């Protein structure tokens, strides 16, 4: 099977404008994401709606494709990009453009989901630890996943699922293995085309989780397990934490702001 990695990257962001071009350890965030993906999949492209991001990707030697400014989700942007990229790919992998620490082993895990010929869509989860605080479990920004015995997703929720009746909440993580969703997706090429034409569903609107649209329309989502958790960058504060993490990991000095960051100031 041939796997195509697509990294959606928008310039406009309410919480963090120009996020893909922010500097992290001497490289832009989007370059770090691209370098983590390139070589693991058969091919990889950044899909953007902004010429500044396009120029930055070309500057470090990456592949990039321009897409519409009107997309409401990364899935829609991935589909448009896939129609513009030459080559016959069986599976499209959607890698978020704000995940500079995505690991090759995670990409291998999601690829392995397609060893099952019935897999239509795949994603990853990480088990919560019994030592995690209850506050981590109840965090609405960290969706939880329930799976069946075949490791297909039954439901995704911002709420804690399942609810343990008759047990103290402090004991829930000791009594049951809960799964945290990691926002990495892969779709068979024909399935990606189908799901981008679906209207928003009632469950999706209720939870603000796009994947519920697919479940509600009868698609199966295979779930792979990751032992590591990526560090997503949604805000400037997240970037600062990522910088500290990188310094400890690589012993790097703090870099100067990028031209795009200076422009925003």
pLDDT, residue 124, reads 96
Q: How far apart are CA 201 and CA 46, in angstroms?
A: 28
At residue 159, what are phi and psi to the nearest 5 degrees? -80, 170
- For residues 41 and 201, give the distance between their C-alpha atoms in angstroms, rounded to a whole number: 32
Question: Would you identify the CATH topology of the domain 1-100+236-253?
Answer: Spore Coat Polysaccharide Biosynthesis Protein SpsA; Chain A (3.90.550)
Is pLDDT above 90 for 204? Answer: yes
Q: Which has more confidence, 248 or 208? A: 208
Structurally, what CATH architecture does the domain formed by 103-229 represent?
Alpha-Beta Complex (3.90)
Q: Give, in degrees to the nearest 5, the angle at Cα 228 between 30 and 29.
A: 10
Residue 253 pLDDT exceeds 60: no
Confidence of residue 252 (pLDDT cuts 50, 70, 90): very low
Q: b/e map of 19-52 (b: 16 or more CB within 10 Å)? A: bbbbbbbebbbbbbbbebbbebbebbbbbbbbee
The full set of domain ranges for the chain reads: 1-100+236-253, 103-229
| Percentage of the chain lying above the pLDDT 90 cut | 77
What does the alpha-carbon distance between residue 82 and residue 42 come to, in Å, rounded to a whole number?
13
More confident residue, 176 or 229: 176
Q: What's the rounded mean pLDDT across residues 219-240?
A: 89
């Amino acid at each position: 099977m041939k796997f195509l990695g697509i990294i959606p990257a928008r310039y406009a962001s309410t919480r963090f404008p120009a996020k893909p071009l922010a500097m992290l350890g001497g490289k832009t965030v989007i370059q770090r994401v691209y370098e983590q993906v390139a070589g693991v999949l058969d091919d990889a492209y950044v899909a953007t709606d902004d010429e500044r991001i396009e120029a930055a990707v070309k500057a470090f030697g990456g592949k990039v494709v321009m897409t519409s400014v009107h997309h409401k989700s990364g899935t829609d942007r991935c589909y448009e990009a896939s129609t513009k990229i030459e080559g016959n790919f069986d599976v499209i992998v959607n890698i978020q453009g704000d995940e500079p620490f995505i690991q090759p082993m995670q990409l291998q895990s999601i690829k392995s989901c397609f060893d099952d010929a019935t897999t239509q869509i795949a994603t990853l989860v990480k088990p919560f630890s019994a030592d995690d605080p209850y506050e981590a479990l109840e965090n609405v920004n960290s969706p939880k996943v329930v799976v069946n015995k075949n490791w297909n997703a039954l439901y995704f929720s911002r709420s804690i699922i399942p609810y343990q009746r008759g047990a103290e909440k402090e004991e829930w993580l000791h009594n049951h293995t809960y799964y945290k969703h990691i926002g990495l997706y892969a779709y068979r090429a024909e399935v990606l085309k189908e799901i981008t034409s679906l209207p928003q569903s009632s469950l999706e609107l209720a939870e603000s989780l796009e994947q519920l649209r697919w479940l509600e329309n009868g698609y199966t989502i295979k779930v792979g397990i990751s032992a590591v958790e990526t560090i997503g960058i949604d805000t400037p504060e997240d970037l600062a934490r990522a910088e500290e993490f990188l310094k400890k990991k690589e012993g790097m000095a703090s870099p100067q702001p990028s031209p795009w960051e200076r422009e925003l100031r």
